[in-house]
Amino acid sequence: MKFFSVFSSLVLGWGLVACGQSNGPSVSTVATTAQPAAATTAPAKQQIALVMKTRSNPFFAEMETGAVRAEKEMGITLVVKAASNETSIEEQIQIVNDLVDARVQAIVIAPGDSQSLVPALKKAADAGIKVVNIDNRLDPDALQKAGMPAVPFISVDNDAGAYKAGQFLAKDVTKPTKAAILEGIRSADNARQRMEGAKRALLENPNIKVVAMETANWKTDEGRKVTEAIFSKKGNGDIKLLFAANDMMAFGAIEYLKSNPKITGVKVVGYDALPQALAEIKAGTLAATVDQQAAEQGHQGVALALRLLKNEAVPPVTLIDTRLITAAETP
């Protein structure tokens, strides 16, 4: 960058002009009659990283959209990273380590596992990087054992959201009925909460018996395979209620049920309110889904990280409302 100084012919002596630095304006030791203001270098924007489980699930695309909105509103630089899929825990750990080496100021993470990411995040915290946890909660005991302070957490009440879904499935069931649950990754806290909430609601109806609870690891292809295995087991062919802990697994279950016309009358509920889930509800193949506002989680995660960087006090837990979406509420 070039700087120009204008000197008056009335000024005698030598003018000493200092070039402006990023921490302050230019300074001249000689007064002039028309000295222009010197340019300064704008301070670097703070870098906040969003680390997601994957980009292959539209839920996380929505989360990224919310974080990008926060970037524009708050004047920070957003760095978005994601593992190949939701079971790629080691890849997520490497992403965190790389961000520590890159010296970002804050990490907002939706961890694929509630315990395995803790050592890498402890390393980040020790390096002075602020950490915010969204979507799936880091295990408090694992944090304590690692000597890491509590990490602020933003998500929904997954137990309550799944309980709403289970109540919807159980509604109007007046005769003996079998139910099944497709779980997420069992080491993930949100998967456990969703399983427990749905199971509790289903079993509150004395006519319902939960005959199968199997993990499909959040994936569509595994959702189809596990659903096939469940329904193929002797005595399970007449299951009528199926809760999937995310929409991706629900899509796999629906694919299997569509390919087997002999299996009829199965009521399927998912979780995430993905666009495809809303289309399946309209088509009548999915009974309901739970909206957990992924974009809002991404937006609030970045906002909370910025507050930490400003040394502001933040709440330990922020819960966003869930909403059960059925055919009556589908736009």
Could you tell me if 137 and 76 lie in one domain?
A: yes
Main-chain dihedrals φ then ψ at residue 296, nearest 5 degrees: -70, -35
152 in a structural domain:
yes
C-alpha to C-alpha distance for 135 and 294, rounded to whole angstroms? 8
255 in a structural domain:
yes
The parent domain of residue 110 ranges over 47-156+294-320
136 in a structural domain:
yes
Average pLDDT over residues 68-94: 97
> What confidence tens digit (pLDDT) does each residue in 20-51 have?
333 333 333 333 334 444 444 555 789 999 99
Residue 234 tokens read as 């002797």
Could you tell me if 172 and 79 lie in one domain?
A: no
For residue 290, the SS3 value is strand
Tell me, what CATH number does 170's domain have? 3.40.50.2300
Could you tell me if 173 and 194 lie in one domain?
A: yes
Could you tell me if 77 and 146 lie in one domain?
A: yes
For residue 30, the model assigns a pLDDT of 32
For residue 45, the model assigns a pLDDT of 85
330 in a structural domain:
no
For residue 249, the model assigns a pLDDT of 98
250 in a structural domain:
yes
Main-chain dihedrals φ then ψ at residue 53, nearest 5 degrees: -70, -40
Could you tell me if 166 and 284 lie in one domain?
A: yes
* Confidence grade of residue 330 (pLDDT, cut at 50, 70, 90): confident
**Position with higher pLDDT, 100 vs 328:** 100
328 in a structural domain:
no
| R_g (Cα) of the chain, nearest Å | 27
For residue 43, the model assigns a pLDDT of 57
Average pLDDT over residues 100-128: 97
> What confidence tens digit (pLDDT) does each residue in 283-326 have?
999 999 999 999 999 999 999 999 999 999 999 999 999 999 99
* Confidence grade of residue 14 (pLDDT, cut at 50, 70, 90): very low
> What confidence tens digit (pLDDT) does each residue in 212-268 have?
999 999 999 999 999 999 999 999 999 999 999 999 999 999 999 999 999 999 999
Q: Residue 121: name the closest of 49, 41, 184 by CA.
A: 49
Is the pLDDT assigned to residue 70 strictly greater than 60? Answer: yes
Q: Is 313 exposed, middle or buried (0-12, 13-18, 19+ CB in 10 A)?
A: exposed
Could you tell me if 167 and 266 lie in one domain?
A: yes
Could you tell me if 172 and 262 lie in one domain?
A: yes
Could you tell me if 183 and 212 lie in one domain?
A: yes
> What confidence tens digit (pLDDT) does each residue in 130-187 have?
999 999 999 999 999 999 999 999 999 999 999 999 999 999 999 999 999 999 999 9
Could you tell me if 316 and 213 lie in one domain?
A: no
What does pTM read for this prediction?
0.81
Reported as type and span, the H/E element at residue 81 is: strand 77-82
CA separation, residue 181 to residues 84, 207, 233, 239 (Å): 25, 16, 15, 11
For residue 4, the model assigns a pLDDT of 35
Task: Name residues whose C-beta falls within 8 Å of residue 104's C-beta, 6 or more positions apart in sequence.
Answer: 47, 48, 49, 79, 129
C-alpha to C-alpha distance for 56 and 89, rounded to whole angstroms? 15
111 in a structural domain:
yes
For residue 31, the model assigns a pLDDT of 34
Could you tell me if 72 and 189 lie in one domain?
A: no
Q: Is 240 exposed, middle or buried (0-12, 13-18, 19+ CB in 10 A)?
A: middle
* Alpha helices (H) in 243-286, listed in sequence order: 247-258, 275-283
331 in a structural domain:
no
The total domain count for the chain is 3
Could you tell me if 169 and 283 lie in one domain?
A: yes
Could you tell me if 137 and 235 lie in one domain?
A: no
